[in-house]
Amino acid sequence: MLVAITRKVSPSIARCELTHLSRSGIDPVRAASQHETYCQALGEAGCQVVSMPAEPELPDSVFVEDGAVVLDEIAVLTRPGALSRRPEIPALRAELERYRPIAEITAPGTLDGGDVLQSGRTLWVGQSGRSNGEGIRQLGEILNRFGYVVIAVDIQGCLHLKTAVTRIGPETMLLNPAMVDGNHFPGFRCLEVDPGEPMAANALLVRETVIYPEAFPGTRRRMEQAGIQVLTVPADELARAEGGVTCCSIVLSE
């Protein structure tokens, strides 16, 4: 069984951290409605959805992916690069302890789960403003005993690695080549986003379905022409907070 851990939208989401976007009015009610539709899509894709309560004082807390890297053997709690996000971790720890043994990234390491892309026993980690070399080193040290390989990847012009690239099939990556070099992923077919949709590389693969923002029809057509099954959701309000569809859940096998 697949479990998708989610957290409801904070009413203070308009005060979220922003790095690459200008602050614009974020409607928390509309964001919450879009998040509910997203959770319904997770259910349609085959997940049992676990919904943690909203955190009124933690604006970014809906983006649960950044708080942990969860594999079959262990859950690694991160140390987010944004100081304001570190109070999100205790509640996530309490939830994940139900499913996995816990390890954690410690100071001076920083790591956001949005920088971690997994396929099999390989994890690529974006060297970003949120994840530093020490955090990546610690993740590798923790996971090495389970047979995983951790590879640091340079990115540019984006918040996280998964802004630039995500996996959309067993051997297929969706990426923006201006943000990350496809040569980091040997053996994978790299499907490029539509040139007019530079922020379109964030997609969530659940079993054989890709949950994907409806705002990027050009890239959606490219995926469908490549034989990818796509389920679209409205996500533009969450995107104003620099969040994507991977950010809003942690999908794990129970």
Active site residue 190: no
- Smallest CA-to-CA distance from 204 within 227, 223, 225, 177 is with 223
What SS3 class is residue 37? helix
**Mean pLDDT per 10-residue segment, the chain (254 residues):** 97 84 83 98 98 96 98 98 97 98 98 98 96 98 98 96 97 98 97 98 98 98 98 95 95 95
Amino acid letter, 88: E
Query: Could you tell me the residue range of the domain that residue 157 belongs to?
Result: 2-253
Residue 22: the pLDDT is 66
Structure tokens at 102: 């816990």
What residues have CB less than 8 Å from 5, skipping those under 6 apart?
Answer: 50, 52, 64, 92, 95, 96, 249, 250, 251, 252
The answer to whether the beta carbons of residues 67 and 113 sit under 8 Å apart is yes
Q: Convert the pLDDT of each residue in 46-89 to its tens digit.
A: 999 999 999 999 999 999 999 999 999 999 999 999 999 999 99
Q: Which of 16, 39, 47, 247 is catalytic?
A: 247
Active site residue 247: yes
Count: domains in the chain: 1
Longest dimension (CA), the chain: 46
Question: At 104, which CATH number?
Answer: 3.75.10.10
What residues have CB less than 8 Å from 40, skipping those under 6 apart?
Answer: none
Structure tokens at 21: 């976007």
The share of the chain scoring above pLDDT 70, in percent, equals: 99
Structure tokens at 204: 């969530």
Residue 82: the pLDDT is 95
Q: Which of 16, 160, 184, 248 is catalytic?
A: 160
Q: How far apart are CA 126 and CA 111, in angstroms?
A: 9
